[in-house]
């Protein structure tokens, strides 16, 4: 319980996404982690390493001051200001010519105006930061004044200016990060038992329950699409549609292979077993963003299997849909109604096909990314749940959380783990952005 109380003191949600950029330079990170480590139940560790084996230490996660000290960031901000001024100048002028040329000018002006509106919040924050930095410099001269009362007032104003600068810099960093289209999506969650037989199925059931509680913790809807149980109460495979604000953005880092190390209930001699299960997190596209040609589908109906009484034996309610060009299959037999099962199967199929499309785009755009995003690298072992040591370790960033039972509740500790992954991902994105700027300028 101590670790859960400690987790409640840590920043959550949107605040936590950039917390490592703002007020936690590397030495403070180590001190904070050391303090939590010596609580009754440990909450974290200082070692951060990517799943590729490349060390990712706390020193690599830069503070906001260190990021703004980078010449590449300053050059990028100047480039954005120049682009904004040019677009504003073009948008303020009129079009010219006639016919095709006039239409081309109108399209170009529309694009410039759109760009101006997108850049306006960032430019406003940059200008506010410049103003606040000038005010800070002015108060620093007053700190050396002979009048003690004036020095005291100047000191208070100086502290306020420094805090405003930190807040504005954090806001600028957040505005620099491009929005991922899929981050605004709902999702389809799939869990599948891996190696380990019945023990893997039992653990799959626990993880599926953890995500259901996680959805409840955030107030998201959790609609089960498939649920194939094992003989002793485990789970062979299951899928669910999850809907709610930032649901995909908060859960996309869960995709991958999860490993459990413990003495199974089925073990007679008390030996430790290692089992795995796989999680897939597929963004759910809208009708507008992704369409499927009905001619490419083969829809089959059959009688549902499993528990269900007379309904199972007499009704052809189960639906199986095959996407012929790719061979992707989606099934649903959760509902008594064939129509409802078809709707749910189509939702799962659309998510699978959209996930394949997104994975191709992600691989092209982020082939250097180290933290797993969405469905990328699903075959990688991303996390270990070790019951004998009472720990959960995420191998992509090397973060360890103790109190495994609380973690499996799907509340604060899982939230904190995903926030840590988001922090590292954000800094990687920013580094890529600045790297592209340096290449452009070279």
Least confident span in 189-193, 311-315, 336-340: 311-315
Residues 42 and 107: their CA atoms lie apart, in Å, by 58
User: Which percentage of the chain shows pLDDT scores above 70?
Assistant: 74
Query: Alpha-carbon distance 218 to 408, whole Å?
Result: 15
Domain range 181-379, CATH class: alpha beta
Mean pLDDT of 40-67: 48
Output the pTM of the full model.
0.66
pLDDT value for 105:
81
Cα 163 to its chain centre, rounded Å, is 28
User: Distance (Å, rounded) from C-alpha 122 to C-alpha 117?
Assistant: 10
CA dihedral 252, 188, 322, 200 (to 10 degrees): 80
Q: Which residue stretches of 99-196 are H helix?
A: 99-142, 148-176
Residue 180's pLDDT band (cuts 50, 70, 90): confident
CA 52 – CA 239 distance, rounded (Å): 29
- Residue 47, burial from CB neighbour count under 10 angstroms (0-12, 13-18, 19+): middle
Is it the case that residue 270 has pLDDT exceeding 90? no
Q: What is the pLDDT of residue 12?
A: 36
Give tens-digit pLDDT for 146-158: 888 888 898 999 9
Per-residue CA distances from 360 to 347, 354, 381 (Å): 20, 10, 20
User: In sequence order, which ranges of 219-285 are alpha helices (DSSP H)?
Assistant: 247-251
**Read out DSSP for 69-93?**
T-HHHHHHHHHHHHHHHHHHHHHHS
Q: What value does the mean pLDDT take over residues 321-343?
A: 87
pLDDT digits (tens, 9 = 90+) for 354-384: 878 777 765 654 443 444 333 333 446 899 9
Average pLDDT over residues 169-194: 88
Q: How confident is the model at residue 143 (pLDDT cuts 50, 70, 90)?
A: confident
**Strand 273-284, strand 297-302: pairing:** unpaired
Each domain of the chain, given as residue ranges in start order, spans 68-176, 181-379
């Amino acid at each position: 319980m101590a670790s859960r109380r400690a987790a409640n003191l840590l920043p959550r949600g949107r605040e936590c996404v950039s917390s490592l950029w703002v007020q936690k330079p590397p030495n403070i990170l180590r001190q904070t982690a050391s303090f939590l480590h010596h609580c009754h139940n440990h909450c974290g560790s200082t070692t951060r390493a990517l799943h590729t084996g490349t060390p990712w230490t706390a020193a690599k996660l830069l503070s906001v001051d260190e990021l703004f000290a980078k010449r590449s960031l300053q050059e990028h901000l100047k480039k954005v200001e120049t682009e904004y001024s040019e677009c504003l100048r073009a948008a303020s002028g009129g079009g010219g010519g006639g016919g095709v040329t006039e239409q081309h000018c109108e399209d170009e002006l529309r694009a410039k105006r759109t760009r101006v509106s997108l850049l306006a919040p960032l430019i406003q924050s940059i200008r506010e930061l410049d103003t606040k930095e000038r005010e800070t410099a002015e108060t620093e001269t007053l700190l050396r004044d002979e009048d003690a009362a004036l020095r005291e007032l100047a000191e208070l104003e100086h502290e306020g200016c420094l805090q405003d600068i930190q807040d504005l810099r954090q806001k600028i960093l957040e505005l620099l990060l491009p929005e991922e289209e899929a981050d605004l999506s709902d999702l389809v969650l799939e869990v599948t038992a891996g190696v380990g037989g019945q023990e893997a199925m039992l653990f799959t059931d626990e993880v599926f329950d953890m995500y259901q509680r996680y959805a409840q913790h955030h107030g998201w809807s959790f609609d089960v699409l498939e649920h194939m149980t094992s003989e002793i109460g485990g789970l062979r495979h299951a899928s669910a549609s999850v809907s709610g604000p930032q649901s995909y953005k908060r859960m996309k880092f869960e995709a991958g292979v999860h490993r459990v190390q413990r003495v199974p209930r089925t073990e007679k001699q008390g030996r430790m077993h290692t089992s795995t299960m796989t999680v897939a997190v597929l963004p759910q596209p809208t009708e507008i963003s992704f369409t499927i040609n009905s001619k490419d589908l083969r829809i089959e109906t059959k009688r549902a299997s499993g528990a269900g009484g007379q309904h199972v034996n007499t009704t052809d309610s189960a639906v199986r849909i095959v996407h012929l060009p790719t061979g992707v299959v989606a099934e649903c037999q959760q509902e008594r109604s064939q129509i409802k099962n078809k709707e749910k199967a189509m939702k799962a199929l659309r998510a699978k096909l959209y996930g394949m499309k997104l994975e191709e785009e992600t691989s092209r755009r982020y082939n250097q990314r180290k933290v797993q995003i969405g469905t990328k690298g699903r075959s990688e072992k991303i996390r270990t749940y070790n019951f004998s040591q009472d720990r959960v370790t995420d191998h992509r960033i090397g973060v360890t959380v103790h109190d495994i039972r609380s973690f499996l509740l799907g509340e604060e500790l899982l939230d904190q783990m995903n926030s840590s992954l988001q922090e590292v991902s954000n800094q990687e994105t920013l580094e890529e952005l600045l790297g592209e700027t340096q290449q452009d300028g070279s």
